Every structure is written in structure tokens, then in C-alpha cells.
Amino acid sequence: MKKITVTGRVLDESGKALFGVNVMVKGTDIRTSTKEQGHFSIEVPGIGSVLQFSCVGYQYLEHTINDESILSVKLNQEPAQLKEVSIVNTGYQSIPKERVTGSFVFIDSTILNRSVSTNFQERLNGMVPGLQYTDVSFQTISPYNPLSRNAGLLIRGQSSLSSGVSKAPLIVIDNFPYEGELSNINPNDIESITVMKDAAAASIWGARAGNGVIVITTKQGKHNSPLTIELNSNLSIRDKPDLNYDRNFLNSRDYIGIEEELFRNGYFDADLADNFAYTPVSPVVELLSQLRNNNIDATEYNAQVSALKPNDVRKQYERYMYRKGVNQQYSIGLRGGGEKIKYALSTGYDNNAESLQRNNFSRITINSINTYQITPKLQLTAGIINTISKTDLNNEFSYSGGYAMGGQYGRIYPYARFANEQGEPLAIIKDYRPYYLQEMIGKGFKDWTFKPLTELDLSDRSTRINDLTLRAGVNYKITSFLKAEILFQNQHQRVKTTNYNSPETYYARNLINRFSVLNDNGTINYHFPNNGGVMEIAQYDWNANNLRGQLSFDKNIKESHQLSAILGWELRQLRTQGYGSNYYGYRKEVGTINNGLDFATFFPVNPFGTSRIPSPGGTVYGITNRYISYFSNIGYTYKNLYSVTASARRDGANIFGVNTNQKITPLWSAGFGWNLSNEKFYHSDLFPYLKLRATYGYNGNVYFGTAYVTGVSLISTVTGLPRITNLTAPNPDLRWEKVRNVNFGLDFNLKDQILSGSLEYYIKNGQDLIQPIELAPSTGFTSFSGNAAETKTIGVDLQLTSRNLNRLLKWNTTLILSTIKNKILTYDVPLSTSSISSAVIGVTGKPINSIYSYRWGGLDPENGDPLGYIDGQISKDYAGIINKFQPENLIYNGSETPTVFGNLRNDFAFKDFQLSFSIGYKFGYFFRRSSTFLNYSDILRYGGNSDFGNRWQKAGDEQTSSVPSVLMAEDVNRNTFYQYSDVLVEKGDHIRFQDIRLSYNFIKSGWLPLRSLQFFSYLTNIGIIWRSNDKGLDPDVYGGYYTNQLPIPFSISFGLKATL
């Protein structure tokens, strides 16, 4: 028999090319897979050979070779898959897209896996109209209430004003809310994500849906499908942070000049004369003191100071505290099924070496879900998700974290060094003057110096998380169109943080030395254990139980009518409990502590005075939130032309006032959809598909505060007796916040899908928003939380996809554009002088996050004082300017959050190569940049700023600089006016080159196990293309003092994906 080569192409029923279809010669080991455009080539033994075609989600096909050498093969979808590929998942039901009236955005695994981040939130960045992403990886979730977490995602802006109300969207995984750490979710386990933005889409989730809902569907098996094995592996390398970007830094030369000026004016005299507390001063001040006391001469002083001036502590941080970050990601998934069972099992491993030395993150995830068809009518589902992670936080010397040396210094001096030329650790000043420490060491006390590099090596701090989710479900088909199901989920998460300070750490040595007494015979009595360390432990547990019962109806009536409905109830309980304590004298090798310490006696302490041994503390807490809900949803479609939807939900909870808890809050929505292109009178070759949508309804917002009287029990430092401090006032009428949503949508396709997309216009009205309401002081409280505020948000979401080229070279472009304008309608919180720095200033008719500033009048040409305005007149009465804090006396700069934002993505394909890049943009907002403090002492206390070099120093400088003169005398009002003047406000508009992805699909006949293999590289955080400010500032990285936020470094990734 003569061998022949058969080529061909595999398509689905709609003519779309199928990639990754397994093609095999029956009875042999000869096989291949289709490439991206569905093409294949395979050598067969001869005429009469049988080719087998198989692909997940499609019906198996055999074809006998005759005398043809070119084939065109069409695979039909399995009946069970026809509905799944065209639906969106609400977490309660699956809805065909053609019947949707609400605002849904569907993200499949292809789009989601374009990025290689270890968290799914970052992978959504720039993919969903109306969704804004902010990096919150540096934030930690409150152990007291998981609802307070910041997911880093904001859907269609902010509707709530209270810090006690969640701004994050509800996260749902496989039908139930997810209460754990979002870092536990492995993106490689996700099959698809549905983002629900309006009332009709999200109202089924009721009081938790005011900020939108993100429904995650994990990968599952399919009936009658062969075993599919998916392998993923990637490696990411991230640059060190750019420490030179930070504006809140003053070079050593200028810093030393400030210290010399302060010294001449006697600023350090009290500290230098302090022989009791031995208040620390910097090395330069020590040299100045020695020069004044004639211990060194001017030549030696100048020589030593000259050696310090070139030093730059940022280089020390970069060399010893930072490294290139390396992230490793691996995952393997198995999916398949037979006639009675479908299964999915996946496991993943992440190992991240963070940018800070000795900070690491590792995560192991296991996800399994199995469905059993017990009888034709009875189906059981069981699943488990287990995530075990460990975060090492051994490096407490991040540049952005700052360092407090004590005394007059709040930040580390810029000429500090962490090591000598040989790399040996050097001590830096902390808490006490060096000569005192040397005296104590000479008397036999423990080494009292502070060496950052030594502390880094000794640090032993980590957080371990074990998150276990168990799921079970029973689905019984009563009739062909009616089914009943009961779903249950239990999620338990334990978070344990340990911080072991060994006896060699500065923390332990400082306690030991302070509570040690030198005897006349030279021996030392230790009142604090000197043979053990200090162990700090905090552990908290979240336990969430969800139980849902639901009836589902879905029936086509005489081909013209389609009716679907659900009716059900849900019970949910979230219990949080935990403890925290310190253990003294802890010996790690044997696990013992010292229980014999005396915490009541006042002991003599070094350097002077008496004190009790610090109490080891101890916190024990527990919170239980309970919810009950009743829900229903109905959808009716007539001839695939008109769709009407309605949903209603009643929620109750124990977290509000007594009066509210006795009621059930109703929330509802209604929607209408019109498939205009299906009308008989509709004839348009330009727009073959056109659909109109409109929805209206109410959602709610979650409050994680309390409506009850709360207090904290303490021991009085005066009487030694127990006392209680009241924290919150009661409000029996405190109730859910509500968000009224109106949404209009248009979906369309042009001929041959040259252009397709959707356009939506929406109005969000926040009602009964929680705000502080003043109380008479005679009540014992200053305010209580009540429902009184109101907001309004108007916006547009646009998504367009164009098919620019569709030949050998393919080129598609996707544009995402969103506009958001919000304003406060009612907010009865009085303004004060401190309001200018508040997150919500609360001016009626202005945006929720507004920037207001004092009007800038330039610099006084005589002395460089900043000039402002009072009643329209130039003034230097800074106290008067600040005290007149009213909107009419201020400059309204604009919104602090972008009012226009989006993303432009281009996708290219040429044969087996794919190239994609995206550009993000943000417009229509402002930010306040930092600047120098206006007196020398504050610069030492809070840190310097690069603007110091541009300060006014002589007449005429006001022509080229807007930085006032820096004075010796401290004037708080002068500084406050300048820091919040409009001269420091910049436009935030910018365009950013977000990422590039290049991939190659490598398929070769003869690679027997592989159906597909893809290699890819991914570059992200490439840089800013254009910005409106002329100072080179990154608007996404700004903040006041203490923050020292730095741009997210450039990262490059390499990886592969394989299917067996």
C-alpha cells in the first residue's frame, strides 16, 4: 500500500477554524493536531485509512480516505456544549447571551491568560469597560472582617462615601461568594469570568451587588470527553524598583547643610546636653559637637564631612536590600468525563522571590470538582479547593517604609551606610547616642548597636494561610423543564502570622539591656529573660457557611416563547475569631517561654527611670454575621425578538440597627431587550446584527461597621482598675445603602464583523448612604453612623473590535473607552480646616473624590514667603486663610480619579506567530504632588524633598521658582498653606505602554503525546508614552510623605502551554 499525505482544514458548524483538534490514523500511532487556522497535514498508510478527529466540546468524527488528498472537515458541537459556549453565568443561573438585557462582560480563558500575573485582578486590567484596577498587593486584609478588603477593582466608580462600606465588587466563585484572601485564587484554575455591572445583571445578589459582581467559573470536566491534560509554566523577572524616582529625598550635601544651620541656631543643644535619655543625633551633629568642644579641629571635621557628602543611602538600599524579583508559576490540569461522570483536577505551584531581599511568597493550590449522574434525573456535585500559602516578610527595611532613628529624626539620614568596603555590616544611629552604647557594652551589657544587615539576616517573620473550601450540590430534574437543587459551601481560612525576635535581634537586646541592673561587684541582674527571644503570634479564622435552595424553570413553548425562571432562598453565616499575643523568653529550639515575669513591679531601667516590663498583650475577638435572603428571577423571550427580565430579592442581616434587623430589605430590577436585526422589516447589510437593551433597578452596599454601642476594655494606667472607652454610638435605624441603576445598551456587528462592539450609558444613584452625623457632646459621643448621604454617577462604556486584516496576516484592534462623572447630592458633614486632606471633602455638586486647594498668589519677592488670598486680596495671614475653609474661598481643581480611561489593544497573527500589545490611558483628573517642608526641623523630622534645591534664596528667584524660602522658625500654618495650595496640583492625564505579548504555536507530526504546544514571552510595565505634567511624574505613583511610592518595575516573562 502506497503512503499518501493528506492535508486539510477543520472547521466548526459556523465555519470558524478550530485550533488544537487531535487528528489520528485509526489503529496506528500516527497523529497530529490542527494549527491556529485549523490546518493540518498527516501521512497515512494509503487509501482506506481512517482518520479520527476529536476535540473537547465537539462530537467525535471518523473519515475514511478515498482518493482525495485535501479534506475539509466540519465538527459539530456536542449537544451538551451548545448552550455552554453562548452563556453568561450570574452565580445563580446560566443565561444565553441572546436573552441578556443587563450589562455583562464575558472574559474567557484566552483573554485572561494573556497576562501571567499570579492574581486574577491584574489580569483584568484594561479588559473590561468601566473597570479600574489599582495595585493593592502592599495592602493587607483586616482580620476582623474580610468584607473590608480592597480588591483593587472598581466597577463604574464609587457610589459610597463611608470608609465603613466596601467599595469592592462582590467576588463569586462557582456560585458562592468568596470570603478569603484574593491572593489565594489561582488564575490558572479559571475557565471564565463574568463581570456584572448594572442592576439587571447583578441585582440577583441584592444587598452585596451595589459595587458590581465578578463571577468566576473554574475549569470543569465535560461528559463523554477523553482525558485532557493541560500544562502551564512561566518565569517572570522583574527589575529592581527605581529608587531615584522618589521626590521625597534630599541629597547628603543639602541635608548636611541643614544640620549645620540648625546646629548654629542651638536646635540640638538640649539633645547634646541630655545625659539621661541620651537622645540620638546624627553622625554630622556628633562631629559638630566635637568641633565645638575642641575634640577635633576644623580640618578633621571638614575631611570627615566631605567623606559623607557623596554618600547616597538609596544606593545602599539598592545594593543590600533589593534584588531582581523572580516569579515562577507551574500548573497541571486534568479534565474529562464519561457518560455518568465528569471530572476536573488541577494543582498549581507559585514561588515568588520578591524585590526585597528575604521576602518570598509561595502558594500551592488544589482544585477538584466532580459531577456524578446518579440517574437520568439525579445529579450530584462535589468539589474541594485548598490553597496553602506562605509569605515571608523578613525585610522590614524597604525604602518606602522609612526608618525612625529616634530623637529629632523621623527618617534615616541620606549619608548612612549599611556596610563597609569589605561588605561587613555597619551600625547606624538608633534610639541612643553611640558613646553611651559603647560605655554599656564595656560594662558587660549586650551589644546595643543597630546593624540593618544583621537584623535582616536574623529576621524570622512569616504569614501562613490555609484556605479550604468544600462544596456539594444535589440537582434533581423534576421534569424536562423544571429542576430543583440544593447547594452547600463551607469555607474555612486560617491565617497565622509569627514574628520571632531571637535574643540576637535588636528588639530583644534592647528589652534585655533596658531591664538589666549592674551590681557593685560587676555582675548584672536581668529582670527580662536574657536567654530567650520574643515570639509574636497572631492567628485568626474565618468560617463561612452558605446554604441555598433553588427551583429552576426553563422551557420553550411552541418555538415562539421561551420562559426561564428561578426561585429560591439562601442562608449565610460568616464567623471570624482570633487571638494575638507576645511570648517573652521564647526558646525556639525547645518551644518554651518564661512564665515567671513580674509585670506589676516598676523596675529601674536604662538609661534612667523606672518602668514596668511591657505587657505581652493579648487580643481575643469574635464576630458573627448572619444573612437570610429570598430571591427570584424571570426571563421571557418572544421569537428571539423581545426579551423581558425581572428579578427581586429580599435581604436581612444582623449587622444593622434593631429596627432594620426586624425587617427584610427588598431589592429588584427589570430589563428589556430588543433583537432589532431579527425583525422581518429589518434589512441592513451594513449592520446585520443590532440589539437594544434597557434596565432599571436597585442594588445594595455592604456595611462592615456596627449599629451597636461598642467599647474597648482597658486597664487604667492611673488607678490600675478596669475601664471601658466607648467607641461607637447606637443607631437602631441604621440600614442598607441602596444604589439605583439605570442602564441603556446597544450591541452591534457590521458586515463580515469588520466592526463589532457595544455602547452603554448608565446612571447610578447612591441612596441612604452612611455618613457620620453629629451628636450633642452631652450624649458622650461626637457622632453616630446614619443613612443621610446621596450621590449620582453618570457614565458611558464603549467596546469596539475591528477586523483590520483577515488574510495571511491577521490584525484585530480592540478599543475600550469609559467615562465616569460623579457628584455628591447630599452630605451633611460640616467642613473643617482638616477637611482639605480628607479622602471625601463632601461638597454638594462636586465629585466624590475632589481636590480643593488654597489659591496661590506667588512668592513674596522680599523674603520668598508664599502668598495667598483672603477675600480676594493678597495675604500672608496663613491662619486666616486656613480658617476660612469654605468652597467659595478655595480653588476647585477637579476630580482625583480619572473621568476618562480605557485601553487600546492590537492583536496580530501570521501563520503560527501571534503578537499583541496594549496601551492604556487615563484622562480628566488631577493629583497633588509632594514638595519640601518650609522649615528645617520638619525636614529632619519627616524627610526632605527634591524641591528643596529650587527654593527661594534671593530676590529674583520668585521669577523662576514657586518653592518658598525655607526658614529656621517653625510655622505650621505657613507650611500647611503651601502644601495644599493649587501650585502643587498637576494634571494626571497620561498614556502608558502597558504590555507586549509574543507567542508561537509549535505543532509537529510525530510528537505523539502533544495536541498543542505554545511558547510565549510577555513584557509589562514598559513605560509612559505621554504625560500632561512637565515634571516627569508618574500620576499612578504619587502620595504624600511617608509613602515614597515607586513605579511598578518593568517585567519580562517566558513560558509555555501544552495540551496532551
Q: What is the pLDDT of residue 656?
A: 59
Distances (CA, A) of 591 to 129, 497, 584: 54, 16, 11
Task: Give strand pairing partners of 663.
Answer: none
Provide the pLDDT confidence category of residue 516 given band limits of 50, 70 and 90.
Answer: very high
Provide the pLDDT confidence category of residue 82 given band limits of 50, 70 and 90.
Answer: very low
- Segment of 135-144, 431-440, 714-723 carrying the highest mean pLDDT: 431-440
- Return phi, psi of residue 161, to 5°: -110, -25
Cβ pair 24, 31 in contact under 8 A: yes
Provide the pLDDT confidence category of residue 80 given band limits of 50, 70 and 90.
Answer: very low
The C-alpha R_g of the chain, in whole angstroms, comes to: 33
In tens, the pLDDT along 793-810 reads: 999 999 999 999 988 999
Sheet of 70-74: strand order equals 39-44, 4-11, 70-74
Cβ pair 129, 817 in contact under 8 A: yes
Q: Where does residue 1 rank: exposed (0-12), middle (13-18), buried (19+ CB within 10 A)?
A: exposed
Provide the pLDDT confidence category of residue 366 given band limits of 50, 70 and 90.
Answer: very high
Cβ pair 294, 269 in contact under 8 A: no
CA angle 305/1043/396 to nearest 5° reads 75
Mean pLDDT on 504-509 = 96
Cβ pair 732, 786 in contact under 8 A: no
**How far is 320 from 452, CA to CA, in rounded Å?**
10
Q: What is the pLDDT of residue 1010?
A: 77
In tens, the pLDDT along 301-319 reads: 999 999 999 999 999 999 9
Q: Identify the three-state secondary structure at position 966.
A: coil
Cβ pair 49, 25 in contact under 8 A: yes
List CB contacts of 1006: < 8 A, sequence separation 6 or more: none
Q: What is the pLDDT of residue 360?
A: 96
Where would I find the H helices in 152-210?
199-202
**How far is 392 from 354, CA to CA, in rounded Å?**
9
Helix (H) or strand (E) holding 584, with range, is strand 561-586
List CB contacts of 719: < 8 A, sequence separation 6 or more: none
Mean pLDDT, all residues of the chain = 88
More confident residue, 69 or 579: 579
- Lowest-confidence pick of 320-324, 843-847, 997-1001: 843-847
Q: What is the pLDDT of residue 722?
A: 66
- Return phi, psi of residue 551, to 5°: -105, 135
**How is the chain split into domains, by residue range?**
4-77, 252-311+397-458, 478-640
Torsion (CA) 589, 595, 599, 603 in degrees, nearest 10? -70
Q: Which three cell numbers stand for residue 734?
A: 441604621
Helix (H) or strand (E) holding 9, with range, is strand 4-11
Using alpha carbons, select from 1034, 99, 107, 1012 the residue that is nearest to residue 644. 99
Using alpha carbons, select from 115, 187, 121 the residue that is nearest to residue 155. 121
**Pairing verdict, β 913-923 and 990-1001:** antiparallel
Using alpha carbons, select from 242, 494, 372 the residue that is nearest to residue 1021. 242
Give domain 4-77's CATH superfamily: Carboxypeptidase-like, regulatory domain (2.60.40.1120)
- Lowest-confidence pick of 228-242, 593-607, 733-747, 834-848: 834-848
Percent of the residues in the chain that have a pLDDT greater than 90, as a whole number: 60
* Widest pairwise Cα distance in the chain: 110
How many CB atoms neighbour CB 247 within 10 A? 17
**How far is 562 from 746, CA to CA, in rounded Å?**
22
Q: Where does residue 903 rank: exposed (0-12), middle (13-18), buried (19+ CB within 10 A)?
A: buried
Q: Which three cell numbers stand for residue 881?
A: 486663610
Q: What is the pLDDT of residue 98?
A: 73
* pTM metric for this prediction: 0.86
In tens, the pLDDT along 667-679 reads: 899 999 999 988 9
**How far is 191 from 112, CA to CA, in rounded Å?**
9
Provide the pLDDT confidence category of residue 993 given band limits of 50, 70 and 90.
Answer: very high
CA angle 361/362/366 to nearest 5° reads 145
DSSP 8-state assignment for residue 222? -
Percent of the residues in the chain that have a pLDDT greater than 70, as a whole number: 91
- Return phi, psi of residue 837, to 5°: -100, 5
More confident residue, 367 or 683: 367
Q: What is the pLDDT of residue 184?
A: 85
Q: What is the pLDDT of residue 288?
A: 98
List CB contacts of 536: < 8 A, sequence separation 6 or more: 497, 498, 499, 500, 501, 580, 581, 582, 583
* Three-state SS sequence of 351-412: EEECCECCEEEEEEEEEEEEEEECCCCEEEEEEEEEEEEEEEECCCCCHHHCCCCECCECCC
Q: Which residue has the cell 442562608?
A: 571
Could you write out the DSSP letters of every residue in 412-473?
--TT--SB-TT--B--B-BSB-HHHHHHHHHTTPPP--B-HHHHHHH-EEEEEEEEEEEEEE
307 φψ region: left (φ > 0), alpha (ψ -120 to 50), beta (else): alpha
Q: Which three cell numbers stand for residue 592?
A: 518554651
Cβ pair 793, 822 in contact under 8 A: yes
Answer whether residue 747 shows pLDDT above 80.
yes
Peptide linkage before 169 cis (omega within 30 of 0): no
Answer whether residue 320 shows pLDDT above 60.
yes
- Lowest-confidence pick of 202-216, 324-338, 527-541, 573-587: 202-216
- Return phi, psi of residue 199, to 5°: -65, -45
Q: What is the pLDDT of residue 146?
A: 53
Q: Identify the three-state secondary structure at position 883.
A: helix
In tens, the pLDDT along 420-446 reads: 999 999 999 999 999 999 999 999 999
Q: What is the pLDDT of residue 558?
A: 80
Q: What is the pLDDT of residue 145?
A: 52
Q: Which residue has the cell 492604556?
A: 920
In tens, the pLDDT along 2-19 reads: 788 899 989 887 667 787
Could you write out the DSSP letters of every residue in 700-751?
EE-B-S-SS-EEEEEE-TTT-SEEEEEEE---TT---EEEEEEEEEEEEE-G
Q: What is the pLDDT of residue 149?
A: 58
Using alpha carbons, select from 930, 875, 789, 986 the residue that is nearest to residue 883. 875
Provide the pLDDT confidence category of residue 468 given band limits of 50, 70 and 90.
Answer: very high
Answer whether residue 135 shows pLDDT above 80.
no
**How far is 329 from 294, CA to CA, in rounded Å?**
62
**How far is 168 from 152, CA to CA, in rounded Å?**
7
Task: Give strand pairing partners of 54.
Answer: 22
One-letter amino acid at 236 equals S
Q: Which three cell numbers stand for residue 526?
A: 536581668
Its sign, for the CA torsion 76, 79, 81, 84, is: positive
Mean pLDDT on 862-872 = 94
Q: What is the pLDDT of residue 450?
A: 96
Could you write out the DSSP letters of every residue in 86-113?
GEEE-SS-EEEGGG--S-EEEEEHHHHT
